[in-house]
Amino acid sequence: MRLAIHGSCDPAFAPVRAAFASNFERFPELGAAVCVAVRGRVVVDLWAGFRDAARTAPWGGDTIVNVFSATKGAVALCAHALAERGALDLDAPVAACWPEFAAAGKGRVRVAQLLDHSAGLPALRAEPPEGALYDWQAMTSALAAEEPFWEPGARHGYHAVTFGFLVGEVIRRASGRRVGAFLREAVAGPLGLDLHIGTGAEHDGRIAEVQPTIAGGPGAGGLGGAFAASLRDPASLTSMAFTRPRDLVAPGLVNTARARRAEIPALNGHANARALARMYGALASGGALSDGGARVLSPEAIEAALAERSRGPDAVLLADSRFSLGFMLPSALRPFGRGPRTFGHPGAGGALGFADPDAGIGFCYTPNQPLASGEGGDPRWPALIDAAYACL
């Protein structure tokens, strides 16, 4: 049966539509959406496939899905919005707004070091009690008491889960609101984004079910090597970063009501491609979209947000990585975009959002069928990205 692709596509960007359709033929795709904004205007907004494994619920224009670590880009934007308002100093010690954080020799750790993954807090040494993932106070108190795994600022390592609680608590202390509420106020509301950290029951009927990770076809494979070996060792920093609290490894975690309702800002944002493409489209266009709405960041703040802060061997991922203040930057591990100032964030399920200010592009792809991928990222990305740039 011929794949039905829905949505809109500027004729000049027809190759993106063709690449999107081709991905459903080349890979074990289930449902997905792709959106591209250029100079603040959406030129591609497409979706296809199904929200469920039984293929009974079509992916719709209002479908949202867990975008995993792509959530981190939205959290970073919240921190930068607070900084621009003068409510948060990124160069100040974290303890200035979160006094308890000064414990265990962390009094000099700066907010910027939380954002660029150099703070030395990618994990908790002690296994938290069951249910801690959903207990904001339990997680933030444990992190405030934790001793850094390395001298803050001396190296970096991906704070896969802890990033959300660390930066999220700073946002809460500085704004007086939880990160989900502040996201609605400062980013999603002004830009009209269907983007949530913590979703209510009213959204359940349109959330795509994320499937178990499978082999991805041509060019795909597991991370392998040192990372895989370390992940299997419960005593390793890599394993602690990705499996503590133990709630993280519960089967079907992301599809449970408990996980959807919670605020886990490093990994449980729900959005569609349109939302993140518009968010990054604004950041690629001086902070605002061409169809109106408030400016979420000034051009000067965007430049500060995208500047490289961490580069080289990653203590957790065990490969070279690059980060700015809260955003991942392209590398051999996760290549995306084409311009030298491209910034954004991928997610474990295959989601990817990024901005390229030089090309004026905001891009996002959101699937619900995770594919195993090693160095080079998700195998579905290149054709979509190449097509978008070729159409400029």
Question: What is the extent of the structural domain holding 65?
Answer: 5-390
* Residue of 86, 266, 83, 77 whose CA lies nearest to 189: 77
Q: Given a cut of 90, is residue 2 above it in pLDDT?
A: no
Q: Catalytic annotation on 239?
A: no
- pLDDT for the residue 293: 74
- Alpha carbon distance 345, 292 (integer Å): 25
- pLDDT for the residue 357: 98
> What is the full DSSP assignment across 263-279?
--TTT-EEE-HHHHHHH
- pLDDT for the residue 222: 52
Q: Given a cut of 60, is residue 264 above it in pLDDT?
A: yes
The two structure tokens encoding residue 382: 């290149």
Higher per-residue confidence, 229 vs 66: 66
User: Look-up: residue for tokens 């502040």?
Assistant: 182
- pLDDT for the residue 249: 94
How many domains are there within the chain? 1
- Alpha carbon distance 143, 111 (integer Å): 14
- pLDDT for the residue 258: 97
Q: Given a cut of 70, is residue 306 above it in pLDDT?
A: yes
- pLDDT for the residue 219: 47
- pLDDT for the residue 291: 84
- pLDDT for the residue 217: 59
DSSP annotation of 108? T
Partners of 45 in beta bridges: 8, 35
- Alpha carbon distance 102, 227 (integer Å): 31
Q: Given a cut of 70, is residue 105 above it in pLDDT?
A: yes
391-to-38, 136, 170, 215, 357 alpha-carbon distances in Å: 10, 45, 41, 30, 16
Q: Given a cut of 80, is residue 216 above it in pLDDT?
A: no
All residues at 6 or more sequence positions from 176 whose CB lies less than 8 Å from its CB, including other chains: none
> Residue 240 is part of a domain; what is its CATH number?
3.40.710.10
- Encode 157-193: b = buried (16+ Cβ within 10 Å), e = exposed: bbbbbbbbbbbbbbbbbbbeebbbbbbbebbbebbeb
pLDDT tens per residue, range 219-247: 444 555 788 899 999 999 999 999 999 99
Given the residues 8, 69, 118, 298, select the one marked as catalytic: 69
